Amino acid sequence: MPRQKQPKLAAIVGRPNVGKSTLFNKLIGYSQAIASNIPGTTRDVLYGDTTWNGVTFTIADTAGLDFDNEALQQDVMLQTQIAADDADLIIFLVDVREGLQVLDQKAAELIRKLNKPVVLATNKTEGGKYDSIAYDFHKLGLGEPMLISAVQSRGVGDLLDKIVLKLKRIKKTSPPTRKKTDKPLVRVALLGRPNVGKSTLFNQLIGKKRAVTSNVPGTTRDTVAMIIETKDFDIELIDTAGIRRPGKISGVIEKFSYLSLIRALRSADIALLLLEANEGIIAQDLHITQLVLEENKGLLIVVNKWDALDKDSHVTSNYDRYLARKFAFANWVPHLYISALTGQRVDNIKESIGTIWASLNIKIPTKALNNIIADAYAGHPPVGKRTLPKIYFASQREVNPPTILLKTNRPEEIHFSYLRYLEKKVRDKYPMVGAPLKWQLIKSSSKK
């Protein structure tokens, strides 16, 4: 299956309460609910795709953040810096009713120093009452202010026209050079919290020092990609940027670090989630896992700094159980214990990537698949409102990820918990290690 091009990223930046989330929902066309069945997860950055005039791009909204008065200025400037680092284009949103604020001016000063396209949008112009005030924002030096009302959709079409025009002008960056070969290219995003050893592992895998390594969280500022050749396939390894600067505000910075992670993840086939053995699993690891699952990417969990863990005869089995409990919602995900510093078991990662790549591209015979679904249905049919929903036919429609289509007379009554049951039955025969399984349900009255 050919890969889709990675959409360009436009980030909405602005002070709290200027209408960023309202504009975000308007641009992507719906109100995005934040929901998860993974305990302890909260989305800090919202993102979604939209298409306008034939151009598909990603919108990111750094919403859902709580600012206190003391940290307000620092946080707004930090938001601007990080969004500018990771986005292709910045939508700088201001509130025309509040007029030009000092924080707007300071953020604009920072933006002007960056080589990024900017669209300046003055929001909350309902009724045209504040149109004349909007032109005060010319002082920001970010171009012509666009008059919009995210609530009433005023000027949103014109805003999208301008965004698309600027995105089209952005030159494409060249991918890493690769020798001509018939081998598949597997794109792997190296994900993880700051200071878990991503750059050290990156250097071990590519066999030379390319990424900066340090025990200070956030020394990797930019996304770095390199090609690794193996016998049967090549790997494009992407080391994602970490937290930008240390100190007491590191927690705030982490809230914005998803932008670079999202970009790397969306272009990848497989995510390699790096954990630190001594620290165990925290909420941010589950945040990242949730993103991987939502994007339907292959996943490998790598527990680093295994050499620094106090050992006894039960340490591995105990950690196995610990991981199984924490990642019970994705029990198909394999894990490895390594030391990026010493190179211990690092070579096993390439073998695991090969296994997951094969799982992502598995093709289940239609007859075998229907036998599995029929047996599962006979043993435990789905519960309907009045009568049992029928499943007429199953077929695999896509690979990377494997996608199974079910024909049923009442798709709306096939609960997600029943799909998990079917998935378990399919995986009993075809484990698909490290690969997610997607389901598509269509309404039908027969096999035809």
pLDDT at position 295 is 93
pLDDT at position 41 is 41
pLDDT at position 243 is 36
pLDDT at position 203 is 86
Tell me where in the chain the CATH 3.40.50.300 domain(s) lie.
8-168, 185-360
Within 113-212, residue ranges assigned H as helices are 131-134, 156-168, 198-206
Q: How far apart are CA 209 and CA 192, in angstroms?
A: 19
Mean pLDDT, rounded, of the chain: 83
Q: How far apart are CA 399 and CA 126, in angstroms?
A: 47
Q: What is the pairing mode between strands 335-337 and 298-304?
A: parallel
Taking only the tens place, the pLDDT of each residue in 282-331 is 888 888 898 899 999 999 999 999 999 988 889 999 999 999 999 999 99
Taking only the tens place, the pLDDT of each residue in 35-54 is 344 544 434 567 788 999 99
CA atoms within 13 A on the CB side of 313: 0
Tell me where in the chain the CATH 3.30.300.20 domain(s) lie.
366-443
Q: Calculate mean pLDDT across residues 59-75.
A: 56
Within 241-365, residue ranges assigned H as helices are 250-256, 258-266, 283-294, 315-326, 347-360
pTM: 0.73
- Are residues 289 and 298 in contact, defined by beta-carbon separation less than 8 angstroms? no
pLDDT at position 294 is 92
Name the percent of the chain lying above pLDDT 70.
Answer: 79
- Are residues 58 and 8 in contact, defined by beta-carbon separation less than 8 angstroms? yes
- Are residues 211 and 220 in contact, defined by beta-carbon separation less than 8 angstroms? yes
pLDDT at position 7 is 82
Q: State yes or no: pLDDT of 2 exceeds 70.
A: no
How would residue 73 be classed by pLDDT, with cut points 50, 70 and 90? low
Q: How far apart are CA 13 and CA 90, in angstroms?
A: 7
CATH of domain 185-360: 3.40.50.300
The superfamily in CATH containing domain 366-443 is K homology (KH) domain (3.30.300.20)
pLDDT at position 19 is 87
Taking only the tens place, the pLDDT of each residue in 357-404 is 999 999 999 999 999 999 999 999 999 888 899 999 999 999 999 999
Which two tokens mark 334? 């394999």
pLDDT at position 116 is 87
Q: How far is CA 397 from CA 269, 359, 402, 446, in A?
A: 18, 15, 8, 18
Which of the pair, 247 or 203, is modelled with greater confidence? 203
CATH of domain 8-168: 3.40.50.300
Taking only the tens place, the pLDDT of each residue in 152-173 is 999 999 999 999 999 999 876 6
How would residue 211 be classed by pLDDT, with cut points 50, 70 and 90? very low
Q: State yes or no: pLDDT of 218 exceeds 50.
A: no
Highest mean pLDDT among 31-35, 97-101, 195-199, 361-365: 361-365
